[in-house]
Amino acid sequence: MRAALIDGKSIAAEMRQEIAKEASELAAKGWQPRLVSISVGDAAASEIYVRNQQRSAESAGVQFEARNYPNDISMEQLVGVLQGLNADPRVNGIIVQRPLPSHIPVKTLQKAVHPLKDVEGMHPASIGNIVYNDLQLGPCTAVAAVELLKTLPLKIEGLDVTVIGHSEIVGKPIAFLLMGLGATVTVCHHMTRSVAMHSRAADAVFVAVGKPGLVTGDMIKPGAALIDIGINRVDGKTVGDADFVSCAEVAGWLTPVPGGVGPVTVAVLMRNAIHATRLQMEAYSDAYAKTEV
């Protein structure tokens, strides 16, 4: 195997240490970071994600509360729950777990979360800030993928990057984040004529499509970085969007699946919780100062 594995678990562990320090400092000021997770219906569908988030939160000094609501809760009732959490100063971040029942549009819920409590970074305002190169609370998976690239001995300014996949919360934000750092970015999607032509010319490739084995070794420039964001189940195993064996023979750096982007995504969620808490502390302080004048 040629490629060096990018160890997301160790990177996430280092991030949590810094997050725990900041959480302790905020708690000392009376602002203990606290997240509330919202699940609807069959809790088993999101159980593993909630458990991982809770474990990561506890190790990072962030309080975590998991709430589950019945499958027949109405959209209006759920929005009311979110509005109550938005108004509660003891809650600093809100996580909406997927999947949701068919009568609950996830985008409607994402819009209902206050931008200052949008620790998942999926509110339209959070996505929009990235376009202006003003990263506040960015979408966790996209930010995590870029964080992994930052750990490599590559100069991002002027780097040729190909992003395969253009979803609103992963592919597109990755492209804007990288452009903000000075990279030259090509975005491929299902109407791209030759994905391989673009990926073979890139110094770094990000893939987030949800199709196992989509990227193979002959699609990668020798020595390039490959950040695999895909999560797929094949024959009882979790695999990414890249054919690991063939890509490992060609790439210079490669993220494993699992153990690559995933752990860093959860760490970014906790870092967003810290940042959201700080933003809210400042907002309340400013509002209080104005009432004193």
Q: Under a CB-based contact definition with an 8 Å cutoff, are residues 208 and 241 in contact?
A: yes
CB atoms within 10 A of CB 17: 11
For domain 130-262, say whether CATH 3.40.50.720 is its number.
Answer: yes
Q: What is the pLDDT of residue 50?
A: 93
Model confidence pLDDT, tens digit, residues 73-106 = 999 999 999 999 999 999 999 999 999 999 999 9
Q: Indicate the pLDDT class of residue 208, thresholds 50, 70 and 90.
A: very high
Categorise residue 263: left if φ over 0, alpha if ψ from -120 to 50, beta otherwise: alpha
Domain ranges of the chain: 29-114, 130-262
Query: What type of residue sits at position 122?
Result: M
Task: Please state, rounded to an integer, the average pLDDT across all residues of the chain.
Answer: 94
Residue 291 has pLDDT above 70, yes or no: no
Q: What is the pLDDT of residue 172?
A: 96
Integer angstrom CA distances of residue 119 from 31, 123, 228, 274, 291:
16, 9, 23, 9, 28
Model confidence pLDDT, tens digit, residues 125-177 = 999 999 998 888 999 999 999 999 999 999 999 999 999 999 999 999 999 99
Q: Is the Cα torsion angle 236, 141, 242, 56 positive or negative in sign?
A: negative
Residue 240 carries which DSSP code? Answer: -
**Alpha carbons 81 and 104: distance in angstroms, whole number:** 13
Contact residues for 231 (Cβ-Cβ < 8 A; gap 6+):
210, 238, 240, 257, 258, 262
N- to C-terminal Cα separation, the chain: 66
CB atoms within 10 A of CB 182: 11
Model confidence pLDDT, tens digit, residues 211-253 = 999 999 999 999 999 999 999 999 999 999 999 999 999 999 9
- Backbone dihedral angles phi then psi of residue 91, each to the nearest 5 degrees: -105, 125
Q: What is the pLDDT of residue 290?
A: 67
Q: Indicate the pLDDT class of residue 285, thresholds 50, 70 and 90.
A: confident
Six-digit token string for 239? 């695999």
Q: What is the pLDDT of residue 162?
A: 98
Residue 259: Cβ-neighbour burial (10 angstroms; 0-12, 13-18, 19+): middle
Q: How far is C-alpha 166 from the chain's CA centre?
A: 15
Residue 292 has pLDDT above 70, yes or no: no
CB atoms within 10 A of CB 77: 11
Q: What is the pLDDT of residue 293?
A: 53
> If we measure between CA atoms, which residue out of 123, 203, 132, 131 comes closest to residue 163?
203
CATH fold of 29-114 reads Rossmann fold (3.40.50)
Q: For the residues 42-49, what does the mean pLDDT come to?
A: 83
**Alpha carbons 14 and 77: distance in angstroms, whole number:** 39
Q: Indicate the pLDDT class of residue 48, thresholds 50, 70 and 90.
A: confident
Length, in residues, of the chain: 293
* Shared fold status for 29-114 and 130-262: yes
Percent of the chain with pLDDT over 70: 97
